[in-house]
């Protein structure tokens, strides 16, 4: 343990001087928002994830909300959402007045259990949200089979999974609507930011309208056409992203593949080192998909260890590792309890929640940083019989 060295966060952004220059250049230009850099970023992103359309928005939560709106989800509808996710995946369904039905996850990947989703489809179900937990895609083909059979929309919350692939296809090109987040802790950042991708032209057009107050043209288009006229067709929102954020996004996107390679390298070092520790149960990485490695999550073998997760968490934090827990099951939050969601209903999610810990993982970690995580985890688990 390196006493006195800076705590290692579980994730952090990488910003270069060239990124900063690109942002400053836009700040000196005519368009601070909805300008040429938004369009360029959308096109570059669509091409990166092999999607026909990409719509940039102000954050990943806005992307989920817009996805619900274009999918036509509304009051009285049900949306099936895994509970092992960030609250925003479920909240988006609530924004449009729908009821959330929580699904359990698989023990080995923490992605949604498709059989459990299938058992929860009713006549009111309108959409299913899949979350690519930690960066590893959910079972998208199985989910598409199910959603197609019932006429449901599959919304993939790929906030963890930019750059991931599923059966050789890029995440962003597979579900009916895929949403991404560019929060600084994710693999690439625009400060705050998000993206929706789709292959459906109708969804694309609707998303652009919902992003801009429900208005059919934007300020720049009207200026180019020399016209003041516009119509508000829907009750939309202001979910626009600025031009300078998109300049940053385009710069980040160019380096993304290299960053994911480094994340993968660190993940495999962790996997190798932890294979020898009995108290750690690794998550599975499946052969037919490539994780984008947003998070490195381990499960503690609580039957073997003499301490619980809270104790181990505290010791790792005091040793300077910025460990975290992803996630508190969404149905545990008071807001959802207030809606009648109960504990004891999702056995796998609830059990693994007690076991999970997220370790530091970001591309600028040095080999020494990785070694420090490995030896600190080893040392602390050894104290507790691991
Ligand atoms: C980060 C995240 C979001 C929300 O993205 P923001 O850009 O922070 O709004 C949604 N879902 C999941 C699973 C996330 O990790």
Return the best residue to mutate from 11, 59, 68, 159 for the ligand 1 pocket (most ligand atoms within 8 A of CB): 159
* Average confidence score pLDDT of the chain: 96
Of ligand 1's listed atoms, the one at least distance from the Cα of 186 is 1
What's the pLDDT tens digit per position in 49-62?
A: 999 999 999 999 99
Ligand 1 atom showing the smallest separation from residue 61 Cα: 9
Confidence at residue 382, expressed as pLDDT on a 0 to 100 scale: 96
Query: At residue 324, does pLDDT exceed 80?
Result: yes
- Which DSSP string corresponds to 134-203? GG----HHHHHHHHHHHT-EEEEE-TT-TT-EETTEETTSSSSEEEEE--TTSSS--SS-EEEEES-HHH
- 186 catalytic? Reply is yes
- Is 7 a residue whose pLDDT tops 90? no
Instruction: Please give the backbone phi and psi of residue 105, each rounded to the nearest 5 degrees, phi first.
Output: -115, 170
Nearest alpha carbon to residue 100 among 70, 71, 72, 120: 120
- Residue 75, judged by CB atoms within 10 A of its CB (0-12, 13-18, 19+), counts as exposed
228 Cα: distance to centroid of ligand 1 (angstroms): 36
Pocket test for ligand 1, best of 13, 56, 61 (most atoms within 8 A of CB): 61
- Judged against a pLDDT cut of 80, whether residue 355 lies above it is answered with yes
pLDDT tens digits for 177-233? 999 999 999 999 999 999 999 999 999 999 999 999 999 877 777 778 888 888 999
With a cut of 60, say whether residue 3 has pLDDT above it. no
Beta strand 125-131 pairing with 153-157: parallel
Any idea which residue has 């959402």 for tokens? 81
Region 67-96: mean pLDDT is 98
Compute the distance between CA of residue 126 and CA of residue 114 in angstroms, rounded to an integer: 16
Helix (H/G/I), strand (E/B), else coil: 286: coil
**Ligand 1 neighbours (beta carbon < 6 A):** 59-61, 85-86, 88-89, 131, 157, 159-160, 181, 183, 194
pLDDT-derived band at 334, boundaries 50, 70, 90:
very high
pLDDT at 4 over 80: no
pLDDT digits (tens, 9 = 90+) for 153-167: 999 999 999 999 999
Average pLDDT over residues 81-94: 98
Predicted confidence at residue 216, as pLDDT, reads 86
CB 354 within 8 A of CB 308: yes
Catalytic residue among 186, 206, 233, 378: 186
pLDDT at 5: 67
């Amino acid at each position: 343990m390196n006493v006195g060295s800076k705590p290692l966060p579980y994730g952090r952004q990488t910003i270069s001087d060239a990124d900063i220059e690109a942002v400053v250049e836009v700040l000196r230009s005519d368009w601070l928002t909805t300008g040429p850099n938004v369009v360029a970023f959308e096109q570059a992103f669509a091409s990166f994830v092999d999607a026909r359309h990409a719509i940039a928005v102000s954050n990943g939560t806005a992307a989920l909300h817009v996805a619900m709106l274009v999918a036509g989800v509304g009051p009285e509808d049900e949306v099936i959402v895994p509970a092992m996710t960030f609250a925003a995946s479920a909240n988006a369904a609530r924004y449009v007045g729908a009821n959330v039905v929580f699904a359990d996850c698989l023990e080995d990947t923490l992605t949604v259990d498709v059989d459990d989703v299938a058992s929860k489809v009713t006549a009111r179900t309108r959409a299913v949200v899949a979350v690519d937990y930690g960066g590893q895609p959910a079972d998208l083909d199985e989910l598409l089979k199910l959603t197609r059979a019932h006429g449901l929309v599959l919304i993939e919350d790929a906030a963890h999974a930019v750059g991931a692939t599923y059966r050789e296809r890029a995440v962003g090109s597979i579900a009916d609507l895929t949403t991404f987040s560019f929060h600084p802790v994710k693999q690439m950042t625009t400060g705050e930011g998000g993206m929706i991708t789709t292959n459906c032209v109708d969804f694309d057009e609707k998303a652009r309208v919902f992003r801009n107050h429900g208005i059919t043209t934007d300020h720049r288009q009207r200026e180019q056409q020399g016209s003041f006229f516009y119509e508000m067709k829907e009750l939309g929102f202001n979910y626009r992203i600025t031009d300078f954020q998109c300049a940053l996004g385009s710069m980040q996107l160019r380096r993304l593949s290299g960053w994911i390679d480094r994340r993968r390298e660190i993940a495999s070092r962790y996997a190798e080192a932890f294979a020898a520790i009995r108290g750690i149960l690794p998550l599975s990485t499946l052969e037919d998909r490539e994780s984008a490695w947003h998070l490195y999550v381990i499960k503690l073998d609580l039957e073997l260890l003499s301490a619980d997760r809270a104790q181990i968490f505290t010791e790792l934090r005091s040793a300077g590792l910025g460990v975290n827990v992803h996630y508190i099951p969404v149905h545990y939050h008071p807001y959802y309890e207030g809606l009648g969601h109960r504990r004891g209903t999702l056995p796998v999610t609830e059990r693994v929640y007690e076991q999970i810990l997220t370790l530091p993982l970001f591309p600028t970690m040095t080999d020494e940083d990785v070694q420090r995580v490995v030896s600190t985890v080893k040392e602390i688990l050894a104290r507790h019989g691991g």
